[in-house]
Structure 1
Amino acid sequence: MHSEIDNKYVIFKLNKEYYGVPINQVISIERMQKFTRIPNGPHYVKGVINLRGEVIPIIDLRDKLNMEIKEVDNNSRIIIVSNEDIVAGLIVDSSSEVLEISRENVDKPPNTAENDYMEYIYGIGKSDEKLIILLDLSRILEY
């Protein structure tokens, strides 16, 4: 028994590509805000924010996926996600929409070794003319 929500993804952009995370793992989408740096954290953890009384680590998703770092701008967003009791914010270039992608439109990622971040991808979704890289949050949020 699968609910409708299983096929819905929050879509965002990184480096002109579309990425998606399951909507049931997204708590909120926030505008960029000041964060407090934390010493000795992994390089991709930019700091923490206080969001409605909860301290949340902020991950630069470009950095985590070994992409070129980009300055945040007015389009940048923090997508607050949750996976197995871990809550974190992902800095993305821009957030676009919620899409429904049926299971038959999700392919396994190609088995190429050239991408450093293949381990973080669980599938490639097809919607209209867009290809959407679906991220595995359990892998992204492990330290």
Structure 2
Amino acid sequence: MEDMNDVQNIETASDGKQYIVVRIGTEQYGIDIKYVDNIVRNQRITRIPKAQPYFKGVINLRGEIIPVMSLRLKFGLEPDEYTNTTRIIIIKLEPQSAIGIIVDEVKEVVTLSEDSIEKPTVSDASDSMVQYLSGIGKHGDGLISLLNIASVIIEKEII
């Protein structure tokens, strides 16, 4: 029974949210840890014809076929350079649907309290990026752009 009390104390003590901090290019982004299912090393990605340019293809992860997208291309940055720090983060917004996102590096897990997060304003980033951010987190002396992972993944095509 003692263990349960410890768990409850931990949960009430941490009033912030946990984010996995990743590097994409020179910027640091935070992804809400509750959406992160897995982090895997870069592996062979099978291309899919006629997919959006930022969809790199699919990977087979323990028998599950998972589409993989490049956040660099989605954000209009230089194409991915694959290094030994490149990782694919498996995101699950819903239990049955997983998607992989390629990041240059996974840095750390941070806990940010509500008062260390500011809502993004248009002046913080280019207009196109603001739609993908849920806030800007202050951590130490650095800033972390917090991704609104649902708006990054769910495609809203303007026709």
TM-score by length of structure 1 reads: 0.92
Aligned residues with identical type, % of pairs: 38
1:35-63 CA-partner distances (Å, limit 9, x unpaired): 11111111110000011111100010100
- Residue 35 of structure 2 is aligned with which of 25, 43, 46? 25
Q: Which of the numbers 114, 122, 126 marks the counterpart of 2:134? A: 122
- Amino acid of the residue matched to residue 51 of structure 1? L
* Bigger shift: residues 63-72 or 108-117: 108-117
How far apart, CA to CA, are the structure 1 residues paired with 2:150 and 2:13? 21
Match of 1:97 in 2: 108
Q: TM-score, normalised by structure 2?
A: 0.83
2:98 and 2:32 map into 1 onto residues whose CA distance is: 14
User: Residues 40 and 76 (structure 1 numbering): CA distance in 2 closer, same or farther, change over 3 Å?
Assistant: same
Q: Distance in 2 between matches of 1:56 and 1:124?
A: 29
Return the index of the structure with the highest Cα Rg.
2
How far 1:114 sits from its partner (Å)? 3.0
Structure richer in helix, relative to its length: 2
Q: Does residue 80 of the first structure (1) align with residue 90 of the second (2)?
A: yes
For structure 1, the residue ranges without an aligned partner over 5 or more in a row are: none
Aligned residues of 1:28 and 1:79 also touching (Cα < 8 A):
yes
CA distance, structure 2, for counterparts of residue 105 and residue 98 of structure 1: 15
How many residues align? The count is 143
Measure how far apart 1:5 and its partner are: 8.4
Q: Which structure 2 residues correspond to residues 1-143 of structure 1 after superposition, within 5 A? A: 4=14, 7-84=17-94, 85-112=96-123, 114-143=126-155
What is the CA distance between 1:115 and its match in structure 2? 4.1
CA distance in 2, matches of 1:122, 1:97: 19
Q: Tell me how far 1:3 sits from its aligned partner.
A: 8.9
Cα deviation, 1:67-126, whole Å, max 9, x if unaligned, reads 121321111110111113431111001001110011110101122373422110110001
Deviation (angstroms), 1:4: 4.3
Residue identity matched to 1:69: P
Of residues 114-123 and 21-30 in structure 1, the stretch that sits farther from structure 2 once superposed is 114-123
Q: Which runs of 5+ in 2 are unaligned?
A: 1-10
